[in-house]
């Protein structure tokens, strides 16, 4: 007999890379339990000191090595951040950044972001970042790309009016896909006014590992900032 249990979305990326050195394993076992985002607990109880007031909440989807997320969190101590990343080596790398930067405003969802989105409050996010997502450039893999029309519907529900969806990529297919998918959603508009707005990294955004790799290989990254309509 068929059951009506909901099925988890299939994750096509890597969950593990090279074996972790002992120091990184220690970070996972010692730091992660306290910093793991708990989808069953009220949001306000999860962020230490900022929990008493209405701090902005931002989400980074696929933070990779975590340098962008840690940099943002350090520069914006009054904002709470959730980072989603199923790749354990990336999670360990973020923990190292958190430790060295003494950052306290990040909670980690070490799994597929699509599993945590239902736990987030409507209009509760001030910013969502999807930086250099896996491009899945082949047409037959288009359904694997993280930004889909259904994801845009969910983000429209979660990002508050005036909040931002920040996208970046260096891959030509992915750039076109990200732009087209976000521009097709009537609740968002692209804020760019001139080419420099997408060709140059906005000064308030830290570098990411994939951005640096792209620049070293002379591939031109683009940054697309969308705003949620009121
Ligand atoms: C190409 S890497 C970019 C990493 C980082 N943003 C950067 O710019 O260096 C894309 C990342 O997205 C993560 N990712 C892919 N699908 C995801 C999902 N459904 N939920 C959360 N993260 C995801 C992958 O594990 C990978 O680390």
Q: How many domains in the chain?
A: 1
| Per-position b or e across 40-71, b if 16+ CB within 10 A of its CB | eeebeebbeebeeeebbbbbbbbbbbbbbbbb
19-62 pLDDT, tens per residue? 999 999 999 999 999 999 999 998 888 987 654 457 999 999 99
Which residue has a Cα nearest atom 14 of ligand 1?
A: 62
Ligand 1-lining residues (CB < 6 angstroms): 11, 13, 61-65, 84-87, 90, 112-114, 131-134, 146, 208-211
* Probe residue for ligand 1, chosen from 62, 82, 133, 166 as the CB with the greatest number of ligand atoms within 8 Å: 62
* Domain-located, residue 41: no
To test the pocket of ligand 1, the residue of 68, 70, 85 to mutate (highest count of ligand atoms within 8 Å of its CB) is 85
Identify whether 42 is part of a domain.
no
Q: Is residue 13 part of a domain?
A: no
Per the domain annotation, does 43 fall within a domain? no
pLDDT per position as a tens digit, 174-224 = 999 999 999 999 999 999 999 999 999 999 999 999 999 999 999 999 999
Q: What are the tokens at 97?
A: 């950044």
Distance CA(223)–CA(169), nearest Å, equals: 7
Ligand 1 atom nearest the C-alpha of 133 is 10
Q: Which residues pair with 81 in a beta bridge?
A: 58, 106
CATH of residue 194: 3.40.50.150
Q: Tell me whether residue 180 is in a domain.
A: yes
Please check whether residue 161 lies inside any domain of the structure: yes
Q: Give the global pTM.
A: 0.95
Expressed as residue numbers, the domain containing 68 is: 22-35+54-228
pLDDT, greater one: 44 or 73 = 73
């Amino acid at each position: 007999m068929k059951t009506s249990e909901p099925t988890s979305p299939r994750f096509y990326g890597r969950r593990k890379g090279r074996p972790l050195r002992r120091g990184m394993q220690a970070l996972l076992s010692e730091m992660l339990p306290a910093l793991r985002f708990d989808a069953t607990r009220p949001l306000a109880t999860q962020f230490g000191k900022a929990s008493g007031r209405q701090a902005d909440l931002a989400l980074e989807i696929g933070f990779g090595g975590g340098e962008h997320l840690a940099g943002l969190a350090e520069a914006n101590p009054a904002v709470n951040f959730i980072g989603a990343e199923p790749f354990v080596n990336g999670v360990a790398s973020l923990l190292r950044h958190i430790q060295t930067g003494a950052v306290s405003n990040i909670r980690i969802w070490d799994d597929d972001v699509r599993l945590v989105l239902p736990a987030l409050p409507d209009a509760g996010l001030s910013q969502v970042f999807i930086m250099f997502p896996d491009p899945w450039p082949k047409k037959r893999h288009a359904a694997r790309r993280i930004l889909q029309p259904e994801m845009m519907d969910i983000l429209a529900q979660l990002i508050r009016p005036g909040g931002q969806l920040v996208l970046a990529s260096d891959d030509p297919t992915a750039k076109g896909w990200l732009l087209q998918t976000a521009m097709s959603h009537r609740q968002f508009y692209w804020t760019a006014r001139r080419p420099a707005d997408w060709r140059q990294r906005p000064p308030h955004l830290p570098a990411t590992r994939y951005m640096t790799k792209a620049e070293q290989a002379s591939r031109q990254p683009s940054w697309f900032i969308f705003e949620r309509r009121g």
